[in-house]
Amino acid sequence: MPISIQQSDSFAKSWSPEITASPTGISLAALPVRFGADEYTVPAVTVPCVYGGEPTTYRLALCRHASGPALVLVEDDAVPSGYEQIVYLARWRLASASDTCATVTIEVPHRTLVPRMDDDGQPIPLPPPTVHAVSATVALPAQTAGRTRERKLRQRIRTLRQQARDMKQAGKTYAAMSPEERLVIGELVALDPTGEVPMEIP
């Protein structure tokens, strides 16, 4: 269970998640999260950790919501509608069916509150924060037809981009490509017009 602690200092933020990983999920111990003038009381939760059929980055995020602060399991960067991420408490990537949260590296950010000093070198105390209770129910990604289409589209774009990189590494230019190879580039540009194309296209 490789846990990678990402430690940094902050004048106004602090949190230190304790994560325990298993093949089926991660467990988060209860903790306070100080973020500026707010403090969030995060309960202990367990979150499933299952490969969904394609390489995906997950993060357990503390989010704002109209109904109150909540923990959300975010796939890639798709924060559900109505939620706004405050901080993330853990992040991991499952790239194959053999990956589990017990085998992959889990990135865990720790923020340590350090005092800001005044002109006389004295620490400036922070005002008492407004405390918010966080729901113990984790919002999980919804399995919808639209989300399935988006996942398949992202997978197709990744496949096409890798094919384009392979052709570039092999020294191919667009002018020297076969019609089939040009179709790969054409489909990549059509599916992801603002994304990276790993070669010059006339």
* Mean pLDDT, the chain, integer: 89
Over pLDDT 70: what percentage of the chain?
A: 92
More confident residue, 22 or 185: 22
What is the per-residue pLDDT for 108? 97
Residues 129 and 161 in one domain: no
Does the residue 92 lie in any domain? yes
Residues 28 and 91 in one domain: yes
What is the per-residue pLDDT for 110? 97
Residues 150 and 94 in one domain: no
Residues 155 and 136 in one domain: no
At 136, the pLDDT band (50, 70, 90 cuts) reads very high
Residues 86 and 16 in one domain: yes
- Closest Cα to residue 136, out of 20, 7, 30? 30
What is the per-residue pLDDT for 197? 67
At 180, the pLDDT band (50, 70, 90 cuts) reads confident
Residues 186 and 134 in one domain: no
Q: Where would I find the beta strands (DSSP E) of 44-171?
A: 45-48, 56-64, 70-75, 84-94, 106-113, 116-117, 123-124, 130-133
More confident residue, 181 or 37: 37
**What predicted TM-score, i.e. pTM, was given to this entire model?**
0.73
Number of structural domains found in the chain: 2
For the cut 70, the answer to whether the pLDDT of residue 147 exceeds it is no
Does the residue 200 lie in any domain? no
Residues 168 and 121 in one domain: no
Does the residue 199 lie in any domain? no
Helices of type H across the chain: 145-169, 179-191
Does the residue 186 lie in any domain? yes
What is the per-residue pLDDT for 76? 87
Q: Which residues lie below 8 Å from residue 112, measured CB to CB, with a gap of 6+?
A: 7, 8, 9, 10, 14, 16
> Which of 141, 157, 175 delimits the end of a domain?
141
Residues 133 and 155 in one domain: no
Tens-digit pLDDT profile for residues 73-116: 999 888 988 999 999 999 999 999 899 999 999 999 999 999 99
Residues 69 and 152 in one domain: no
66-70, 97-101, 158-162: which range is least confident on average? 158-162
Over pLDDT 90: what percentage of the chain?
A: 57
Q: What is the CATH number of the domain that holds 100?
A: 2.60.40.2980
Tell me the mean pLDDT in the region 29-42: 97
State the DSSP code for 50. -
Residues 166 and 81 in one domain: no
Does the residue 53 lie in any domain? yes
Residues 135 and 160 in one domain: no
Q: Is 184 left (phi over 0), alpha (psi -120 to 50) or beta?
A: alpha
Q: Which residues lie below 8 Å from residue 133, measured CB to CB, with a gap of 6+?
A: 40, 41, 68, 69
Residues 120 and 173 in one domain: no
List the domain range (segments joined by +) for residue 12: 3-141
Does the residue 153 lie in any domain? yes
What is the per-residue pLDDT for 153? 79
Does the residue 66 lie in any domain? yes
Does the residue 136 lie in any domain? yes
